[in-house]
Amino acid sequence: VFCRTSLPVAQFSRGDFSLWSVLKNCVGKELSKITMPVVFNEPLSFLQRMLEYLEYASLLRIASEQTDPVARMECIAGFPPPPGVSVSRRQPALRVPRVSSSQTEVLRKKWGEAYTWSNVNCCVHNVIVGKLWIEQYGSMEVTCHGGAGLKANLCFKPAGFNNRDLHRVEGFITDPSKKRLRFLYGKWTQYIKCCSASAYEQWAKDRGEEAGTQQTPKKVLAKLNSFKVGALRSMSIQDFYQFTEFSMSLNEMQRDMKGELCPTDSRLRPDVRLLEQGDIDGAAAEKTRLEEKQRAARKALKKSTDAWQPRY
């Protein structure tokens, strides 16, 4: 399958639009009743944005093939992206971190393990004035339920003075007795590397430092297991919302698809399709129509005594 590498039309300039002028007019209003201009959107639906979490799902396949539980945790610890990881080079004001809920029944056939993790904080800087940029910081704990009961505790560092630690992440894989097994470090926008905890502790000892997550090793062992993000596309990504190739393919509509898709498929959203094609006025009109339709449906549901019945 060959996926597209560009959108039908290049992204329009947002230089004539002020986010602050929109926000100051929304003070005191109910969030659900605020209509944001379509120019601050990207040609992706909320569901498609959630799917960006799976850009590196290949790590899960690799993990499933590992017989060593520590090796599985190494792969899985590199999979959970912090909110906004796929958009670190995009306009952060457009990217509200995804918040959703779901219920899934998982059949654990091979190893009998399930993994959970917590997200870190996402901070948008310079919303009012200056250059917008995002920062991920805080602690993420990846927990293995069942099996060896391993945990990966990752520390996403704040940028600090001069942005020295911007995007840096490091931590340890530990067993149930909290014994350190592997050390992970890198930049979540570029790569994650790992080595044995003993090798890292020896490196820290040679430098006269305490082995922890306060130092940022730059040359710990030349040969390490590592995961790298996909190669960045050419500078043309600046013309297409700085989408990765994976994101570029999410709303792609091939000729033989339309008749086969479910009516609720995100690729059939008229406002998103018009925005992708560069029709700003048409996209704005469709966006307004859909939002008014949703508000009317919610209002009718409040007045109704019948319980909501999903179609599926």
CA–CA distances in Å: residue 197 to residues 50, 107, 179, 181, 283:
34, 33, 9, 5, 53
Pairing mode, strands 133-145 and 121-125 = antiparallel
What is the residue extent of each domain of the chain? 57-98+112-228
pLDDT of residue 37: 85
Residue 231, pLDDT above cutoff 70: no
Q: Which of 35-49, 76-90, 194-208, 237-251 has the lowest mean pLDDT?
A: 76-90
Cα(312)–Cα(310) distance, integer angstroms:
6
Residue 177, pLDDT above cutoff 80: yes
CA 58 centroid distance within chain = 15
Q: What is the pLDDT of residues 268-304, one digit of tens each?
A: 999 999 999 999 999 999 999 998 998 898 889 888 8
Pairing mode, strands 180-187 and 225-228 = unpaired
Q: What is the pLDDT of residues 4-25, one digit of tens each?
A: 888 999 888 776 677 777 777 7
Residue 237, pLDDT above cutoff 90: no
CA atoms within 13 A on the CB side of 198: 0
Higher pLDDT, 197 or 309: 197
| Chain mean pLDDT for the chain | 80
pLDDT of residue 128: 73
Higher pLDDT, 144 or 27: 144
pLDDT of residue 211: 58
> What is this structure's pTM?
0.75
- Quick one: CA torsion of 95, 97, 102, 106, rounded to 10 degrees? 100
What tokens appear for 249 in the block? 């393919």
Cα(188)–Cα(138) distance, integer angstroms:
13
Q: What is the pLDDT of residues 87-133, one digit of tens each?
A: 554 544 344 444 555 555 555 567 888 898 888 888 888 877 777 78
pLDDT of residue 282: 96
Domain 57-98+112-228 CATH class label: mainly beta
Residue 266, pLDDT above cutoff 50: yes
pLDDT of residue 268: 94
Residue 143, pLDDT above cutoff 80: yes
- Looking at residue 56, its amino acid is Y
